[in-house]
Amino acid sequence: MESAPSPAPLQRRRFLTRISVALSAAIGAVLSVPVVGFLLAPLMQREPRVWRPVGGVDQFKVGETVSVRFEDASPLPWAGATARTAAWLRREDESRFTAYSVHCTHLGCPVRWISDAKLFLCPCHGGVYYADGTVSAGPPPRPLPTYPVRVRRGQVEIQTSPIPIA
Amino acid sequence: MLDTLLGWIDDRSGLITATRRVLQHPVPPRTGWWYVFGSATGLAFLLQVATGIALATAYVPSSGQAYDSLRFISEQALLGRFLRGMHYFGASAMVLLIGIHVSRTYLMAAYKFPRELNWLTGAVLLLLTLALAFTGQLLRWDQTAVWSVIVGAAQAGRMPIVGEQIARFILAGDTLGGATLSRFFAFHVFFIPALVFLLIGVHLLLVLRHGISERPKAGEPVDPATYRRRYDELLQREGVPFWPDAAWRDVVFGAAMVSTVALLAVIVGPPDLGPPPDPSILEAYPRPDWYFLWYFAVLAMAPQHLETIIIVAGPLVFGALLLLVPMFNKGERSVRRRPMAALLVVFIWTMILVFWVAGERADWSPDFDAAPLPAQVVRSTDPTIVAGAKLFHDKGCEFCHAVAGYGGKRGPDLTDVAARMSPDQITGRITNGGPNMPAYVRVLTSEETAAIVAFLNTRR
């Protein structure tokens, strides 16, 4: 018959358990920290804001609202068509332009400018905005946001912005 | 010879004996056709894995090229159209079957003692299935997909405090772009399926550990003190081997399910690819696939002040309810003694169906393609009335209001508006608008308003 284990092997066993658990945790941390960090990286990075030309001043008629397209601030080489963004650009007078976001403030769907009715309409849930971007009907909680616009050397330029989120 | 080989494999691995023990474990008698939906959901998942692997060998998970690779799969690759169809209808089957399976286990209270963890692992599998359905719809990287990502991010953005961060996580940055699709692809094909495999394994281990629940009988409540003994006695008295006494129904139903999916893949085919994924094309009308169409309708029809609460709290409440179900783990299982449970299931399915039909019709969407009113509808040669009818179309009234079947359904039908409103009332409504109508004083001249009113005044 064996006697009860003496204290020495018990202590040894407890030590081995602790060191094994600690080493396993270390392995887990070495694997998970970079993986999770890599996935969360887009939250830390802010893209620069850059000015993108969208056409010569003379292309736009005073009082008219047209869609213009431009490229995102720092598109990845494989982004293809997804790097493009649009805005609704209106020439207010000789020198002033306004660029409205195309994203409905309800849930981000693309609003359309209906020139005869002078309204922006959203196809998804029927949001409607007046020509100045204020809400006239439907679910949108806020007016259409605007992009900064400027005129440089005869070119109209729009400053890129993140997709407006709540 | 073969017996010797099999004997050797079993001696060294133990796999054959273990499999036989699993297949022939005793199950309660007379389980019947209600018990086939769990295995059918699992089979639909395996179908998704098989067709998904095939599709992944040709799909290019790059924001710029995925669309072209999908066109290649759909139009040129041998069997590509069929496999896309299988994957689409397989996904539909999986969503539908897991919905029926969870309803069945709830109605029969199979989640009660000792099967609470069976329910909880199943609840997580339900959420993961919906996550697969959403990410999968986005991998069909066309115009609708990119706008769905943006709409998804906008919904997440309603969340207080963390909303913007979650939205940026979904978009993979400030805007939609090159990084967006690769991440959805990785989640759809690696991360979520790995979790699903793991949880299906645990779910099946639990099914073996506690046995398949017997058909509930009114007047035989579950008592944790005696349930296990009574279940064991039932098995000893009347138990039948799972294979083939119960399993044959799973196989027959599974075969019918796979054949249906394959037939639909051949006859109907996969959903068409829309226009390319270019966010600068604004002629877009993004709608979710059928399994989320009802939620699309909820968001359109929710009162404005409740909307953020629904978007944020709705999924949380749904998740919490799923987790709370197994707290009620004792008592009657029979649905005859649990009328509220039956009512709840009927209520949820009816609600989904009603909202689904509403989403299919989408009456709240303006009809951008409304045709100008033809002369036989205008029924007048009076120049003011004719001009009013033209303005009714040109100024966008017709996007939301129908006259004699022409136009949208967002606002009231105006076919006989003059019978219920005076010209002054019509003028007031056009000028000042309403809760869901723009104030046209900012759009129309007084002559134009007068012409439209003259036209509408002939509608009776």
Return the CATH number at A63. 2.102.10.10
Residues B328 and B384 in one domain: no
Whether A75 sits inside 8 A of B62 (CB atoms) is no
pLDDT, position B258:
98
CA distance B378 to B456: 10
Is B17 a domain residue? no
CATH number at residue B253: 1.20.810.10
For residue B400, the distance in angstroms to the closest alpha carbon of chain A comes to 9
| Token pair listed for B371 | 């045709």
- Residue B79 predicted with pLDDT over 60: yes
pLDDT for residue A5? 62
Domain span including residue B436: 375-456
Q: Looking at this protein, which amino acid is placed at residue B110?
A: A
Q: Does residue B75 form part of some domain?
A: yes
In a domain, B19, yes or no: no
Q: Say yes or no: B303 and B438 in one domain.
A: no
Q: How confident is the model at residue B353 (pLDDT cuts 50, 70, 90)?
A: very high
Does B349 share its domain with B382? no
* pLDDT at position A1 over 70: no
Is A128 in contact with B289 (CB distance < 8 Å)? no
- The pair of structure tokens assigned to A132 is 């100045």
Cite the DSSP H helix spans in B239-336: 247-267, 290-301, 304-324
Residues of B numbered 400-439 whose beta carbons fall under 8 angstroms of chain A's beta carbons: which are they?
400, 410, 433-439
When pLDDT is averaged across residues B43-60 and rounded to a whole number, the result is 98
B364: which DSSP letter? T
Find how far residue B237's CA is from the centre of its chain.
43
Whether pLDDT at A22 is above 90? yes
A92 class by beta-carbon count within 10 Å (0-12 exposed, 13-18 middle, 19+ buried): exposed
Percent of chain B residues past pLDDT 70, beyond the cut: 100
List beta partners, residue B122: none
Q: What is the mean pLDDT of residues A95-110?
A: 94
Residue A65: what pLDDT? 96
Residues 164-183 on B with a CB inside 8 Å of A are: 164-165, 167-169, 171-181, 183
Q: Which residue of A has its CA nearest to B143?
A: A82
Count of structural domains within chain A? 2
Is B18 a domain residue? no
CA A66 – CA A87 distance, rounded (Å) = 8
Instruction: Flag whether A1 is in a domain.
Output: no
Is A81 within the bounds of a domain?
Answer: yes
* Average pLDDT value for residue range B326-330: 93
In this predicted structure, the answer to whether residue A98 has a pLDDT above a threshold of 90 is: yes
Assigned domain for A166 exists: no
Secondary element (H or E) of residue B346: helix B339-361
Omega prior to B114 cis, within 30 of 0: yes
ipTM, two decimals, is: 0.91
Residue A22 touches chain B, beta carbons under 8 Å: no
Inter-chain contact B64–A78, Cβ cutoff 8 Å? yes
- What CATH code is carried by the domain that includes residue B451? 1.10.760.10
- State the pLDDT confidence band at A47, using cuts at 50, 70 and 90: confident
Same domain? B327 vs B445: no
Say how many C-beta atoms besides its own lie within 10 A of residue B43's C-beta.
22
Residue B297 belongs to some domain of the structure: yes
Cα B122 to Cα B83, B101, B105, B224, B250: the distances in Å are: 28, 9, 10, 21, 18
Residue B108 pLDDT greater than 60, yes or no: yes
Cα of B392 to nearest chain A Cα, Å: 10
**CA distance to B76, B128, B263, B291, per residue, from B85 (Å):** 14, 21, 9, 16
A3: pLDDT confidence band, cut at 50, 70 and 90? low
Inter-chain residue contact B400 with A84, CB threshold 8 Å: no
Residue A164, domain member (yes or no): no
- Which helix (H) or strand (E) is B444 found in, with range? none
pLDDT digit string (tens) for B402-455? Answer: 999 999 999 999 999 999 999 999 999 999 998 789 999 988 999 999 999 999
User: Could you tell me if residue A2 is inside a domain?
Assistant: no
In angstroms, the Cα distances linking B449 to B392, B424, B426, B444 are 10, 11, 10, 6
Q: What distance in Å separates the CA atoms of residue B384 and residue B453, rounded to the nearest whole number?
A: 10
Percent of chain B with pLDDT over 90: 89
**CA B357 to CA B372: how far, in whole Å?**
28
Whether residues A140 and A80 fall in one domain? yes
* DSSP letter (8 states) at residue A68: E
Q: Is B202 exposed, middle or buried (0-12, 13-18, 19+ CB in 10 A)?
A: middle
pLDDT averaged over every residue in chain B: 94
Could you give phi then psi for residue B158, rounded to 5 degrees?
A: -75, -20
User: Is the pLDDT reported for residue B301 higher than 90?
Assistant: no
Q: Is A87 helix (H, G, I), strand (E, B) or coil?
A: strand
The partner residue sitting opposite A86, judged by closest CB among B282, B395, B410, is B282
In a domain, B428, yes or no: yes
Mean pLDDT of B338-343: 95
C-alpha B65 chain-centroid distance? 27
pLDDT at residue B228 is higher than 70 = yes
- Average pLDDT (A125-139) is 92
**Rounded CA separation A97/B88 (Å):** 46
Predicted local distance difference test score (pLDDT) of residue A43: 86
Among candidates B158, B280, B307 on the partner chain, residue whose Cβ is nearest the Cβ of A84: B280
| Res. A7: pLDDT tops 80 | no
Query: What integer pLDDT is reported at residue A8 of this predicted model?
Result: 83
Average pLDDT over residues A135-159: 94
Same domain, B275 and B414: no
Judged against a pLDDT cut of 70, whether residue B81 lies above it is answered with yes
Beta strand A65-71 pairing with A51-56: unpaired
- Please determine, for residue A151, whether its predicted confidence score (pLDDT) is greater than 60: yes
Q: Provide mean pLDDT across the span A21-36.
A: 97
Q: Token pair for residue B87?
A: 């994957």
- Distance separating alpha carbons of residues B122 and B116, to the nearest angstrom: 10
Instruction: Please state the rounded mean pLDDT for residues B199-218.
Output: 96
Which residue reads 């306004």 in tokens?
A98
pLDDT score of A2: 54
Residues B318 and B410 occupy one common structural domain: no
Contact A18, A127 (CB under 8 A): no
* Residue at which a domain ends, from B361, B392, B415: B361
CB pairs under 8 A between A and B: 187
Counting other chains too, the contacts that A150-153 makes at CB distance below 8 Å and 24 or more residues apart are: A150/A51, A151/A57, A151/A95, A151/A97, A152/A51, A152/A53
Find the closest chain A residue to B163 by CA distance: A166
Spatial distance between the Cα atoms of B439 and A117, rounded to a whole number of angstroms: 11
* Chain B residues 115-154 with a CB less than 8 Å from chain A: 146-147, 150-151, 153-154
For residues B178 and B283, state if they share a domain. yes
pLDDT digits (tens, 9 = 90+) for B56-67: 999 999 999 999
Q: Chain A window 45-84: which residues touch B at a Cβ cutoff of 8 Å?
A: 45-47, 67, 69, 72-73, 75-84
* Host domain of residue A125: 51-159
CA–CA gap between residue B337 and residue B341 (Å, rounded): 9
The C-alpha angle A87, A93, A97, rounded to 5 degrees, equals: 25
How many domains is chain B built from?
Answer: 2
pLDDT class for A166, splitting at 50, 70, 90?
A: low
Q: Tell whether A101 and A146 lie within a shared domain.
A: yes
Average pLDDT over residues B350-366: 93
Q: Is B184 domain-assigned?
A: yes
CA distance B40 to B303: 38
Average pLDDT over residues A77-85: 95
